[in-house]
Amino acid sequence: MYTTLGKHQMLLALKGTNPTTPITHVGLFDKDAAISTITGVASTDVFTKTAHGLSDGNLVVLSAISGGTGLKAGYPYFIITSAANTFQLSETPGGSAHDFTTDVTAMTLERLVEISGGSPAYARKAIAFNAPVEGLMDDSTNGAVVDVPASTVDYVGLFSAVTAGTLLAIDDVTAELFAAQGTYSVTDAKLNLNQDV
């Protein structure tokens, strides 16, 4: 699923603007425990959940949304204006609040945390792409091997830098549990304008 910034990047490239933040690296995410029974008020775009534990900038995906017209399950959002029991969602880090038009009576979200630690230490790996063919670009790397500490790999992310940088896409993958240090291979990444990643 392309992030909003990833979609904007592709549109600017199509417009003829030289991309300033191309996809250069692949990284991995683990999901935190689901946070459920979240409610939201459409008139303020504010969500409520007692002691939610979220912070500004956290990357989250939504599921089990009751109400909340305008919110998309599985889409990457970022937490903004977090307080002890309230928060808002944005499509970009530090951006404006995402507008939804009906109250949310119940919602679940999961925070995605980039994997870290281990020995050898986790680090994003470089990725490159072949020339596009009919709206699809296949990666030429085919087999980026990432060191992973004991954790679960739930999502693959495409970034504009080896550290920090911009997250331009995420893809939920079949969860893979690592009980101890191991390696995770990203065997086939594609950029597909015909559908999301």
**pLDDT tens, 60-76?**
999 999 999 999 999 99
Provide the token pair at 2.
Answer: 């392309």
For 171, counting Cβ atoms within 10 Å of its Cβ (0-12 exposed, 13-18 middle, 19+ buried), the class is middle
Q: Which domain holds residue 51?
A: 32-112
| Structure confidence at residue 197 (pLDDT) | 45
81 and 104 assigned to the same domain: yes
Task: Tell me: do 97 and 139 sit in the same domain.
Answer: no
Residue 127 and residue 66 share a domain:
no
Q: Are 91 and 120 in the same domain? A: no
List of residues 6+ apart from 64 with CB closer than 8 A: 36, 73, 106, 107, 108
Domain contains 148: yes
Are 107 and 48 contained in the same domain? yes
Instruction: Report yes or no on 179 lying in a domain.
Output: yes
More confident residue, 197 or 47: 47
Is the per-residue pLDDT at 196 higher than 70? no
pLDDT of residue 195 exceeding 80, the answer is no
Domain boundary among the residues 112, 140, 175 is at 112
Q: Kindly state whether residues 21 and 46 are assigned to the same domain.
A: no
Distance (Å, whole) CA 169 – CA 184: 18
Statement to judge: residues 18 and 41 lie in one domain = no
Give the total number of structural domains in the chain. Answer: 2
Question: Residue 106 falls within a domain, yes or no?
Answer: yes
- pLDDT tens, residue by residue, 111-142: 999 999 999 999 999 998 888 788 788 888 88
User: Across residues 165-179, what is the average pLDDT?
Assistant: 94
> Would residue 72 count as lying in a domain?
yes
List, for residues 79-103, the tens digit of each pLDDT value. 999 999 999 999 999 999 999 999 9
Q: Is residue 134 part of a domain?
A: yes
User: Do 77 and 23 share a structural domain?
Assistant: no
The domain boundary residue, chosen from 112, 144, 166: 112
Query: Does 197 map to a domain?
Result: no
108 and 119 part of one domain: no
Residue 156 belongs to a domain: yes
The answer to whether residues 101 and 159 belong to one domain is: no
DSSP string, the chain: -B-HHHHHHHHHHHHTPPPSS---EEEEEEEPPPEEEEEEETTTTEEE-TT----TT-EEEEEEEEE-TT--TT-EEEEES--SSEEEEESSTT-PPPP-SS-EEEEEEEEEEE---TTTTP--EE--B---BTTEEEBSS--EEEEE-SEEEEEEEEESSSSS--EEEEEEEEEEEESSSEEEEE---EEETTS--
Residue 68 lies in a domain: yes
Diameter of the chain measured on Cα atoms? 49
Domain boundary, last residue among 96, 112, 128: 112
How far is it, in rounded angstroms, from Cα 175 to Cα 178? 10
Distance CA 142, CA 55 (A): 35
Using pLDDT thresholds of 50, 70 and 90, give the confidence band for residue 192: confident
